[in-house]
Structure 1
Amino acid sequence: MFHKEGFKIILIATFIVGIGIIAIENVVSINWLNKLLAATLLIFYILILQFFRNPKRTTNINDSTIVAPVDGKVVVIEEVFEKEYFKDQRIQISIFMSPLNVHVTRYPMSGKVKFSKYHPGKYLVAWHPKASEENERTTIVVENKKFGEVLYRQIAGALAKRIVNYAKPSMEVLQGSDAGFIKFGSRVDIFLPLNTKINVNLNDKVKGGEQIIATL
């Protein structure tokens, strides 16, 4: 199953690879080179399909838990001053996605979207300390009765050139459902209340939409 954001790119890649293989068969007469070029095109095609995969995830809906919004590696757990929306101290959890991870963004909790804003910016590597403030990014705040307001931020990386965000103010959203997509390498930051219990450690690998990363 592939994400809808990849349909156009997959179609173009299918056409390019198909034409490329036909051209190689007709133009390249050296057998080993013919096979090498064809294999390279097929590997490229497989990587495109891999990147846009959208595996089905089962979320146990619970207003007292936060699930990982993306697949990836936990690279930051720390108390920080969140200055865009809350303007106070929060616990930040950052999850880094490599190009091989699933890049679907999922809502970390159910509730109402209170804030959604796109910021143009740079394309620093996603793990750069200033990426959260200087890179292209979207900031989304969801509120429910248990957690109150929780902010998550989609951040572009050095390769990511387009962030897709489906969250709009006043929308009612469901924990674990499709919230957007970040194309080609990126990171998501989550900002939680200080009384939140963190259920992950640095360098843990998490699964979006299923794994509980925090509880009240």
Structure 2
Amino acid sequence: MGAKSTPLAIKVAIYERLLSGQMSREIGRSYVLSQPTVLKYANDAVDALRRIHSIDASPVLLGFLSRKLKTQCFQYPDDDEVRSLMAPILEPYLTRAESIDFAGRESADQPLSTRVSRSTEEEFLQIVSSLAEGQRPGMTPSALLRELVENFVTQHRGNQPAFNPATAPIQQVAKSSMPAVDTDALLADVMDAIRFQFAQHGLAQKPV
């Protein structure tokens, strides 16, 4: 259940926008990416373009792409020859990128972390190892954690009554901006979700 790789068309589109003078911060906002990721994707695009036969056969383009990204961005706007040679090569990628809703994707790289005891971690890793060797080949700790969290959220969402803002008492909203949380009930829900997942994977819960 790993994150899907970023399409080359998106990387080339990011690269082209840098060449055209857009700031990496602005591009990052458009694609919901960090600045380092924007620059990494642009360099990935350069590496991929270098392997294209039409570029490999062009000393002008090969020389251009061999320069550092920052130098390319300075040179590109004023180099008519490079732009005329690059345009037909970039065009198919840019057309493809327009049809990809990359900014609207469900990001798979949002971290969610917590701290657990060493014994809990060791037992969890044993469970993952058992699943990977049996019912769930290739299972990883992060994949199982994601599955548990997503299933818990789905289950919790299904148990919540629909919220109608038109009927919500204004006085209650004014009293507190944060809803009261029953920590005991929340913990019980989490444990129920974990027990359910263990049962789904054929794992008996250890007695406590």
- TM bucket (normalised to shorter chain) is under 0.3
> What's the TM-score, normalizing by structure 1?
0.23
Report the TM-score, using the length of structure 2 for normalisation.
0.24
Higher helix proportion (structure 1 or 2): 2
Decide which structure has the larger Cα Rg and report it: 2
More strand by share: 1
Larger RCO (alpha carbons 8 Å, 6+ apart): 1
